[in-house]
Amino acid sequence: MNKHNYLFSTLTLVVLLLAACAKEPPPHSNLWLDEAVQGWQNPDPEVRRDTRMRVLREGYLHIDEKDIQSLEFFHRQAQSDEDAERETAAAVLGLINSEQSLPILRALSNDPNEFVRTAGLRALWQYELAIVEQDIINGLDDESDFVRREAANLLKGRRAQYSTEVQAKLDAVFHNPLKNLVTEEPTVTNLLDNNSEVVLGETASSPFEQALVDALENRPTLIDIAIGSYQPGSIEAAIVEGDLALLRDYIEVRNVSPNLKVGQPIMDMQHSLLMLAALTPHEEIAEYLIDKGADVNHQSAGVTPLLRALTAQQMPLVKVLATRGADLDHVNELGHSALTTAMREPEGEILEYLLQQGAAVNKPHHFFSSSWSLPLIKAAELYSPATVALLLRYGADANAIDSQGDDALVYGIKRLSLFSNCCSDRIRSIHEEEIAVIQALMAGGATVQQKHLELLDEQYRPALENAELNSLYTPYYEEVRGILSRTL
């Protein structure tokens, strides 16, 4: 089992284990956690599945540092006998960022299980780096390549400040041939993440790593990883290699259905021939399959050929599918549509093309039975000011709300990042982008309400009340408050 599948099954197991453990769930002041615990206990497997996806997608946003019951609950999970529970507890405790959790996180960063160690290091990094930095540096000497890479990623922004010895260790990690897979090989990443937020750096076991290294030298193998091995002369090879004559032979002479499913299931998903073609640059292959009756809106685990082409950033295939009947507004079970998937592409070319083709910019994106969001809200929460401005230019409603009753401006304020005082350059660049998101929303018609100012005050209060952080964060706080207050 590769690490991607392990992580997905691990997170699924966590939810099931929590359901088994929570016969009498602790009382939570946070109503969302009450709802989540109830979902874990529900006998309906669909409800439990929806709850799991909700926890994975948005749960961390609702965990309240003041909710001591939740803190104690995750402290208990961090000491579980189950690797999966400890791993998830580490992630949650890192976001709660409580001093009470520091000894537990340090223990987790030395756990026998490499996944737990990695989660522990990430969680420590959320704490004040000056206090935990040595713990993360120690991770550079870990026996696991996986853990060493994660420790190096957490430290790389401060490389120049470290000793020659530590710099040498960082360089050794980053000279690994896998170092650029996530940034230089988005096709591999997206083939493996099934449109979720899991990144390639979290999916590697040694045999799998070697397969990916080999893939860098042999481009067809990238798709081979996704669909299972194929033989020369197979119908999969015809699609991947763009051999239209061979594909014609299969469809027209051997009477193979253009809707044949191929490959090994990944995350309960098998590719149709057109989904496989969508991962390639071969427009003529996709056109031919559609002409022969391939279902342009075939779904597998909620993913369509268009979503596959978007995650692979195959613009020619996106255009073919969009002009041949692909549903631009389909939302898969994780709450992703063509628009929200295209937001990941930083240049914005694909996103603007979809908007020009009429993709519904204000359609609610349901990702659970009773929850929904909107493209603009997701952009305000996660993506660039340019993305926010582009959606607004094409008619996004700046004041629309999601199922929680929150508008995009709420999420723009929530994303304001409060780190420790050790990373002022990083804080400055992050805040500049986040302030630009708020300004773009207001320029697009977002209405400021008193609740937005109250949220801002709540967001900054911990930093402003901290003697060491006050001087660092006061300018940002005053700037954002001034921007918001001008329209009240």
CATH of the domain at 245: 1.25.40.20
pLDDT attached to residue 37? 58
Q: Please compute the mean of the pLDDT values over residues 415-428 and round it to a whole number.
A: 63
Query: Same structural domain for residues 372 and 323?
Result: no
Containing structural domain, residue 79: 3-127
The structure tokens listed for 405 are 């009753």
Query: CATH number for the domain including 470?
Result: 1.25.40
Indicate if 189 and 116 belong to the same structural domain.
no
Residue 80 — very low, low, confident or very high, per pLDDT cuts 50/70/90? confident
Residue 184 and residue 316 in one domain:
yes
> In this predicted structure, what is the pLDDT of residue 175?
53
Q: Read out DSSP for 125-184?
A: HHS-HHHHHHHHHHGGG-S-HHHHHHHHHHHGGGGGGS-HHHHHHHHHHHTSTTTTHHHH
> For 164-186, what is each residue's pLDDT tens digit?
888 888 877 765 433 333 333 33
CA distances to 28, 191, 292, 316, 411 from 280, in Å: 49, 12, 19, 9, 36
Where residue 73 sits, what CATH number does that domain have? 1.25.10.10
Please give the helix or strand (H or E) that residue 263 lies within, else none: strand 261-266
Amino acid at 372: W
Total domains in the fold of the chain: 3
Q: pLDDT band at 324, cuts 50/70/90?
A: very high
Tell me if 443 sits within 8 A of 486, measured CB to CB. Answer: no
356 falls within a domain: no
Same domain, residue pair 310 and 373: no
The Cα 87–Cα 81 span in angstroms is 11
Encode pLDDT of 131-142 as tens digits: 888 999 999 999
Q: Return the ∠ at Cα 289 (arms to 288 and 292), rounded to 5°.
A: 90
Q: Same domain for 389 and 309?
A: no
Q: Which residues pair with 178 in a beta bridge?
A: none
Tell me the C-alpha distance between 2 and 112, whole Å.
19
| Co-location of 323 and 375 in the same domain | no
Does residue 256 lie within any of the structural domains?
yes
For residue 408, name the pLDDT band (cuts at 50, 70, 90).
very high
Same domain, residue pair 321 and 373: no
The rounded distance, in Å, linking the Cα atoms of 341 and 329 is 11
Which residue is it, tokens 């929150």?
Answer: 406
For residue 259 the two structure tokens come to 């809707």
Instruction: Read off the pLDDT of residues 8-49 as tens digits, 9 standing for 90 and up.
Output: 444 443 433 333 343 333 333 344 556 655 665 667 766 655
Q: In this structure, is the dihedral angle defined by the CA atoms of residues 31, 37, 41 and 45, taken in order, positive or negative?
A: positive
Model's pTM, two decimal places? 0.57
Model confidence band, residue 128 (pLDDT cutoffs 50, 70, 90) = confident
Residue 424 and residue 308 share a domain:
no
Highest average pLDDT, of 88-102, 290-304, 338-352, 386-400, comes from: 386-400
Instruction: Give the residues across from 262 on adjacent strands.
Output: 271
Q: Which two tokens stand for residue 197?
A: 């937020």
- 319 with 353: CB under 8 angstroms? yes
User: What's the CA gap between 386 and 334, in Å, rounded?
Assistant: 24
Region 213-234: mean pLDDT is 50
pLDDT value, residue 454 = 94
Most confident of the following: 218-222, 275-279, 395-399:
395-399
Of 271, 298, 327, which marks where a domain is finished?
A: 327
Q: Does 383 share its domain with 319?
A: no
The pLDDT of residue 425 is above 70 = no
Write the CA distances from 350 to 31, 122, 282, 360, 390, integer angstroms.
38, 32, 17, 15, 12
